[in-house]
Amino acid sequence: MGDGYLGNSHLKKVQENIEWTPELLKEYMKCADDPIYFSKEYIKIVHVDRGLIPFDMYDYQKEICDKIFKNRRVAVLTARQSGKTTTAVAVILHYILFNEFKTVAILANKGDASREVMARVKLAYEALPKWLQQGIEEWNKGNIALENGCQVLAGTTSSSAIRGKSVNFLYLDEVAFIEGYDEFFASVYPTISSGESTKLLMTSTPNGLNHFWKTCKGAKEGTNGYQYQEVMWYDVPGRDENWRKETIEALDHDEEKFNQEYCCEFLGSSGTLISGSKLKELYPDQPIAKAEGLTQYEKADKNKQYVITADVARGKGLDYSTFTIFDISEMPYRQVAVYKDNLIGPVDFASVLYRAAMIYNEAGILVEINDIGGQVSDVLTIDLGYENLLYTQNSGRSGKVLSPGFGKNVDNGVRTTKLVKNTGCSMLKMLVEQNQLLIRDYDTIQELSRFSKKANSFEAESGFHDDLVMNLVLFAWMTEQQYFKDMTDINTLTKLREKTDEQIEQDMLPLGFCDIGDPSFYEDDGIRL
């Protein structure tokens, strides 16, 4: 067998002797103290044309390296093809070479992606001079173990990925694309939070208004303990306006896609009910309480009036049973609490609804009864004796109308017909985009970012949910109803039109459309000649 680990001459064997000179010792210490120097001088990368070349770090790569070296948590939002993986490789190599008994975990939403990062780590390791290497104890696709007690693991972002392991440095690649992120992070958080020096590096391109958007938003505002780094397409040397135009052309002239993947814009899907510009402005509030599926943003106020809209599922782990509580005392209306659970059965859901409604001043409850929602309504009225259920009845061409519950063809809830949904979607769009309905819940905002046009309606994209959005749609439909006007003494449509007129007036004032108080300024038709 030749020199090196298992005959690989590029890898140092355990207990392989190195003849240390004062110059080498000095260089080793310089590398240990300065990860940027180490990366520039000793990391090699594969160039598409020139093969293995030195890592000539860009300024933003140096910043990322410095931030993770000096801090515990770093979130990096990057344009595509910006060298984020190479930077992560350099950081990981420095960490395992100049520490002892540390474990690095490389996790991605797909196993192939994490193994690709691991392959780059191994390639860069093999290119190091022997005096910088640690002896190899294990070297395979998913694991590296070094003589100094450090190891690198590669796997997928499942809830069991690193359960039971002591991880000192966690690298999450393309974190915005991790499915079931909340469950996954809840499982790994104890692992990375237990030590005082544990590190977390997450990198990704945007993927809608999801968990990574939330993390980046908090990092930019300095509210969640993460250091933030943003890499735009123009930060990469060699990319100019011609490059931008060519790239957009290669994307079939889809500028929205370019904006998301290269301008780092957290857009939802194309064709969303709520405009992309408005979705970008939405940001969740911090809940005041969260327990057993209920998230509260405001406590009940005895002087306020509330309503609840509810969407009922079968409780078999698929769709969610949800309800949203709204403050309707004045405009803008406010989302004050949200409930979401995909395991609860209809009877138990009715009990939760009842308790929440009683807390919020015996709020009016509107239940969707298309499927098994009627069972929930029956439990509320018959078994629990709740007296403030909201009803609907048929009204000719108007379709379903909100009702006090008297007369013929009365339903103890609302059937979401095509007309009800279309009206609700139209009203919801106006309410949100005119800032007359304040959305405060993270899950609701996320669903809105994936609630897109399909045929002649709107619904969640494949693989996503719209249960909370349907709460909003039903509420928006409700605000247009005469019975709602009678309940609140608020004419929502009139208020929206007034807001629109105010905005038009404000937009026109800079153009000089104003009365200067001089009658001679105008002719009979009010227009200046």
DSSP 58: -
Tens of pLDDT along 126-143? 999 999 999 999 999 889
- Rounded CA-CA distance 56/42 in Å is 10
Residue 409's pLDDT is what?
Answer: 78
Residue 98 pLDDT exceeds 90: yes
Residue 353 pLDDT exceeds 90: yes
Percent of the residues in the chain that have a pLDDT greater than 70, as a whole number: 91
Higher pLDDT, 31 or 526: 31
Give the range among 51-65, 250-264, 447-461, 499-513 with minimum mean pLDDT: 499-513
Residue 297 pLDDT exceeds 80: yes
Helix, coil or strand: residue 147: coil
Most confident of 278-287, 393-402, 481-490: 481-490
pLDDT, mean of residues 25-47: 94
Helix, coil or strand: residue 214: helix
Task: Say which residue the tokens 């996954």 belong to.
Answer: 184
pLDDT, mean of residues 353-364: 96
Confirm if 277 and 435 have CB atoms less than 8 A apart. Answer: no
Which amino acid, one-letter code, is at 193?
A: S
Query: What is the CATH number that goes with domain 22-231?
Result: 3.40.50.300
Residue 1's pLDDT is what?
Answer: 43
Contact partners, residue 524, CB within 8 Å, separation at least 6: none
Q: φ, ψ for residue 481 (rounded to 5)? A: -85, 145
Nearest one of 282, 273, 310 to 470, comparing CA atoms? 310
Residue 474 pLDDT exceeds 60: yes
Higher pLDDT, 68 or 461: 68
- Rounded CA-CA distance 160/157 in Å is 8
Residue 519 pLDDT exceeds 60: no
Residue 515's pLDDT is what?
Answer: 40
Task: Say which residue the tokens 């392991």 belong to.
Answer: 165
- First-last CA distance in the chain: 99
Give catalytic status of residue 255 as yes or no. no
Q: If 0-12 CB within 10 Å is exposed, 13-18 middle and 19+ buried, where does residue 420 land?
A: buried
pLDDT, mean of residues 165-173: 90
Q: How confident is the model at residue 270 (pLDDT cuts 50, 70, 90)?
A: low
pLDDT, mean of residues 89-94: 96
Residue 460's pLDDT is what?
Answer: 86
Tell me the C-alpha to C-alpha distance, in Å, between residue 400 and each of 34, 413, 427. 70, 10, 16
Query: C-alpha dihedral over 186, 191, 194, 200, to 10 degrees?
Result: -90
pLDDT, mean of residues 92-100: 97
The domain segmentation of the chain, as residue ranges, is: 22-231, 280-494
Strand 73-78's sheet: what is its strand order? 136-140, 143-146, 151-156, 103-108, 169-173, 199-204, 73-78, 227-231
Residue 295's pLDDT is what?
Answer: 96
Residue 269's pLDDT is what?
Answer: 65
Residue 509's pLDDT is what?
Answer: 45
Q: How confident is the model at residue 399 (pLDDT cuts 50, 70, 90)?
A: confident
Nearest one of 380, 307, 388 to 347, comparing CA atoms? 380
Q: Which two tokens stand for residue 257?
A: 């896609």
Residue 164's pLDDT is what?
Answer: 65
pLDDT, mean of residues 323-333: 97
Residue 518's pLDDT is what?
Answer: 42
Residue 177 pLDDT exceeds 50: yes
Tens of pLDDT along 478-508? 999 999 999 999 999 888 888 776 655 554 4
Q: How confident is the model at residue 103 (pLDDT cuts 50, 70, 90)?
A: very high
Instruction: Provide Rg for the chain, Cα atoms.
Output: 29
Query: What is the CATH number that goes with domain 280-494?
Result: 3.30.420.240
DSSP 134: P
H or E segment and range at residue 427: helix 418-433
- Rounded CA-CA distance 209/461 in Å is 14
Mean pLDDT of the chain: 87
pLDDT, mean of residues 432-453: 92
Q: Quickly list H helices, 346-388.
A: 346-359, 373-378
- Annotated active-site residue in 23, 63, 100, 174: 174
Residue 210's pLDDT is what?
Answer: 84
Most confident of 31-35, 113-117, 504-508: 31-35
Q: How confident is the model at residue 41 (pLDDT cuts 50, 70, 90)?
A: very high
